[in-house]
Amino acid sequence: MNIKTLNQILEIAFEKRVSDVHFEVGNPPFFRGRGQLVRSKLQNLAPEDTQFIASCIMEHNGRTLPDALREIDTSYSLPNGGRFRTSIFRQRGHVGIVMRVIPPHVANFKDLHLPPVLGEIVKAPNGLILVTGPTGNGKSTTLASMLRFINEKFNYNIVTIEDPIEFLFASKNSCIIQREVGIDTEDFSTALRASLRMDPDVIMVGEMRDAETIESCLKAAETGHLVLSTLHTQNAVSTINRIVGNFPPEGQEIIRQRLADILVATVSLRLIKDKSGEHILPVVEVMRSTTTIQACIREGRLEEIRKHIENGRAQYHMQSMDQHLIHLCKQKVITLEEAKRVSNSLDLERKLTFTS
């Protein structure tokens, strides 16, 4: 392996619009495209190959590969501008690398098949907006599209804190400051505290990973800023539970009160194949913080939230995951089998029949 070969492999991945490239000892490079992992016809990688790739990636960022490597998240850019979010890790004593392809341009809501209500949600002057979902289901891309909308529509100072920086933004109507954990700042919570001294209107935190970061995000939203972040949760209810559960039992009632006051919306995502199998689409749950939902959060009546989401479709443009799945089925965009695979509901088929 040499740098020319590595860049050629990555250029092919970028041009073919695959989502991920895997480098692991004993296997050839793997490519993930349209949700499927495909083995390439290249030679199997030796330990020195993956060690070389990891070292090149680290050197690209002005860092060295630590001898005691466990896992590192960073980024890599090709000379032609292609960018990758990179996870370097150790497995079975060897170095492995997974590189996520970052699209060259930040797409808008329409191009990403995201609901237009996201444009209304990001108009909030302050508060907390959370984008959630499993790994690899479009959280970062959705968050980037929301920042694009803000950048184009408002004269704001936007500070992003990312690990690593994924999409590169050019300031348009807004001014954008992008900081990378490990390079520009020590960690999320430290960067959040510093960001409050940067005259921000909007703060984007790549991920709320721990109680300290969650607390810093809550404080930033409480002091008049619009804060956007992500969580690895399935829906609005699990998102609220995750946040509250990060705090000791004696403090959870206060956290529910604070969250009810500042939460603007949760946007939960799953990616799904269309009927042709050729395209990947998002299925989206949207919860907006109405007075009724605020009361549910304050009083711990979270089991009622899904009903309020579904009832708020007409007035507030909210929707549950099942409502979106049923809509896509009725439009013949996806198959019932694919919808049932994604849905957590055991009676999705009955719901589909009932709404037909």
Q: What is the CATH number of the domain that holds 222?
A: 3.40.50.300
- Residue 80: give its domain's CATH number: 3.30.450.90
- Does 261 lie in the same domain as 154? yes
Residue that terminates a domain, selected from 70, 102, 134: 102
Long-range Cβ pairs for the range 5-8 (8 Å, 24+)? 6/52, 6/53, 6/56, 7/78, 7/79
Q: How many residues does the chain have?
A: 356
Domain presence at residue 24: yes
Domain presence at residue 344: no
pLDDT at 344 over 90: no
Structure tokens at 292: 């009724």
Domain presence at residue 57: yes
Q: What is the pLDDT of residue 288?
A: 98
Residue that terminates a domain, selected from 53, 79, 102: 102
What range defines the domain where residue 209 resides? 117-319
Domain presence at residue 237: yes
Domain count, the chain: 2
pLDDT at 355 over 80: no
Q: What is the pLDDT of residue 64?
A: 86
Mean pLDDT of the chain: 93
pTM score, whole prediction = 0.90
Q: What is the pLDDT of residue 278?
A: 81
Q: Per-residue confidence at 121, pLDDT binned at 50, 70, 90?
A: very high
Cα dihedral 194, 198, 199, 202 sign: negative
- Does 94 lie in the same domain as 38? yes
- Does 79 lie in the same domain as 141? no
Domain presence at residue 187: yes
Q: What is the pLDDT of residue 350?
A: 80
- Percentage with pLDDT > 90 across the chain: 79
Do residues 97 and 22 lie in contact, with contact meaning Cβ atoms separated by under 8 Å?
yes
| Whole-angstrom distance, CA of residue 282 vs CA of residue 278 | 14
- Does 223 lie in the same domain as 90? no
Q: Per-residue confidence at 192, pLDDT binned at 50, 70, 90?
A: very high
- Does 46 lie in the same domain as 126? no
121-127 mean pLDDT: 97
320 in helix, strand or coil? Answer: coil
Do residues 202 and 156 lie in contact, with contact meaning Cβ atoms separated by under 8 Å?
yes
Q: What is the pLDDT of residue 61?
A: 85
Q: What is the pLDDT of residue 356?
A: 53
- Does 159 lie in the same domain as 263? yes
| Whole-angstrom distance, CA of residue 174 vs CA of residue 107 | 17
Return the higher-pLDDT residue of 182 and 89.
89
Q: What are phi and psi of 41, to 5 degrees?
A: -95, 15
Q: Model confidence over 280-334: pLDDT tens digits?
A: 899 999 999 999 999 999 999 999 999 999 999 999 999 999 999 999 999 999 9
Looking up tokens 């996201």 gives: 118
- Does 298 lie in the same domain as 270? yes
- Does 296 lie in the same domain as 165? yes
- Does 215 lie in the same domain as 146? yes
Q: Model confidence over 233-276: pLDDT tens digits?
A: 999 999 999 999 999 999 999 999 999 999 999 999 999 999 98
Domain presence at residue 109: no
Q: What are phi and psi of 128, to 5 degrees?
A: -120, 125
- Lowest-confidence segment of 13-22, 229-238, 269-278, 344-353 by average pLDDT: 344-353
Domain presence at residue 269: yes
- Does 71 lie in the same domain as 204? no
- Does 45 lie in the same domain as 160? no
63-87 mean pLDDT: 88
Q: What is the pLDDT of residue 354?
A: 67
Q: Model confidence over 131-166: pLDDT tens digits?
A: 999 988 999 999 999 999 999 999 999 999 999 899
